[in-house]
């Protein structure tokens, strides 16, 4: 009875909130009606705000407020400045490796985790409320913990997907670099050609390298930052070879040719490795879904005969 009453109160609260949001829109603005008779109605501040996406209008302010509360709470905890700085740097590095999704800062990311934790706590409470009201607190705790962990799992998957996309695009980019440099273009012009030909995480990072070099930054420093923003071993080896060639005065064309051949060999080896792993990965789905169906199709017609023999 208590669960039904609590559910009814929640539905009534949502209905009142929706009604309060709709009532101001039902009336007519007299000033706006009079202005529309003489000239085109200028856009109001509300219309300009409604042009923004829902995430910018609603979610981001909530996330920023939650981030402010979270930072205020973390300041009160007995943590040394070194521990705080290491946690902030770790979060900033993970966001950078993920490509800075939605332009989130470290404080925004804390707000996102708290927001998802609150939503998870509410969902857990509603899920266990129908079982027993006594489990309401347990549902809030379990849902909040799951909601606090889920953003980190999502970020890890996004980092892995971005690094995989960079590894996949690197051999083709090196081939185009070799062709462009061999045709007489300089390294910077060949890099611009690679950026113009495709759009992927690797070319976006190379475009950032070009922009940094245009404002006067050394190529070596820009390439080192590229390695720090991606954390891909293949790209790290390529950048190290370029920097070493620049220091020793080796021809860039020769270095690019060797690196491109090496990347093609690595891509072929990875493809062969995945092909060898395919039978083992297919074994468990076959045992769970295909083999039982085959057994039923083969032994099914024999089942009446076997039952008659037993009789």
Domain limits of the chain?
Answer: 163-269
Q: Are 167 and 234 in contact (CB under 8 A)?
A: yes
Chain-centroid distance, C-alpha 120: 19
Rounded to an integer, the average pLDDT of 203-218 is 92
Q: 207-217 burial string, b = 16+ CB within 10 Å, else e?
A: bebeebbeeee
Which H or E run contains 85?
Answer: helix 81-97
Cα–Cα distance between 91 and 49 in angstroms, integer? 31
User: Hey, CA dihedral for 103, 108, 110, 111, is it positive or negative?
Assistant: negative
Rounded to an integer, the average pLDDT of 283-294 is 82
The answer to whether residue 139 scores a pLDDT higher than 90 is: no
At 293, the pLDDT band (50, 70, 90 cuts) reads confident
At 304, the pLDDT band (50, 70, 90 cuts) reads confident
Single out the residue of 206, 166, 172 nearest to residue 189, CA to CA.
Answer: 206
The pLDDT assigned to 240 comes to 92
Q: Are 146 and 164 in contact (CB under 8 A)?
A: no
At 76, the pLDDT band (50, 70, 90 cuts) reads low
228-276 per-position pLDDT tens digit: 999 999 999 999 999 998 888 888 888 999 999 999 999 999 999 988 9
The chain-wide mean pLDDT, for the chain, equals 81
The pLDDT assigned to 93 comes to 92
The pLDDT assigned to 166 comes to 95
The pLDDT assigned to 131 comes to 73
The pLDDT assigned to 67 comes to 77
The pLDDT assigned to 64 comes to 77
Q: What is the CATH number of domain 163-269?
A: 1.20.81
Q: Are 183 and 154 in contact (CB under 8 A)?
A: no
Query: Tell me, what DSSP letter sits at residue 103?
Result: G
């Amino acid at each position: 009875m208590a669960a039904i009453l609590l559910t009814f109160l929640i539905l009534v609260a949502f209905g009142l909130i929706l009604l309060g949001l709709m009532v101001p829109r039902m009336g007519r603005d007299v000033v706006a009606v009079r202005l529309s008779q003489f000239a085109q109605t200028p856009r109001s501040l509300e219309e300009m705000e409604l042009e923004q996406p829902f995430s910018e209008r609603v979610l981001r302010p909530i996330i920023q407020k939650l981030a402010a509360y979270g930072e205020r709470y973390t300041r009160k905890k007995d943590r040394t400045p070194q521990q705080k700085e290491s946690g902030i740097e770790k979060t900033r590095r993970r966001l950078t490796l993920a490509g800075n999704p939605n332009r989130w800062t470290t404080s925004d990311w804390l707000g996102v985790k708290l927001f998802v934790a609150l939503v998870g706590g509410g969902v857990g409470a509603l899920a266990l409320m129908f079982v027993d009201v006594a489990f309401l607190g347990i549902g809030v705790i379990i849902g909040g913990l799951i909601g606090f962990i889920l953003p980190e799992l999502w970020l890890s998957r996004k980092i892995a997907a971005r690094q995989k996309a960079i590894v996949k695009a690197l051999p083709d980019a090196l081939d185009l670099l070799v062709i462009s440099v061999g045709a007489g273009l300089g390294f910077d012009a060949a890099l611009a050609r690679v950026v113009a030909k495709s759009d992927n995480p690797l070319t976006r990072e190379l475009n950032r390298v070009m922009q940094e070099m245009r404002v006067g930054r050394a190529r070596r420093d820009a390439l080192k930052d590229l390695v720090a923003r991606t954390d891909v071993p293949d790209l790290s080896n390529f950048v190290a070879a370029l920097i070493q060639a620049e220091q020793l005065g080796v021809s860039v064309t020769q270095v690019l040719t060797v690196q491109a051949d090496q990347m093609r060999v690595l891509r072929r080896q990875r493809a062969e490795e995945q092909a060898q792993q395919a039978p083992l990965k297919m074994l468990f789905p076959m045992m769970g879904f295909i083999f039982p169906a085959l057994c039923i199709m083969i032994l099914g017609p024999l089942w009446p005969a076997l039952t008659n023999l037993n009789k």
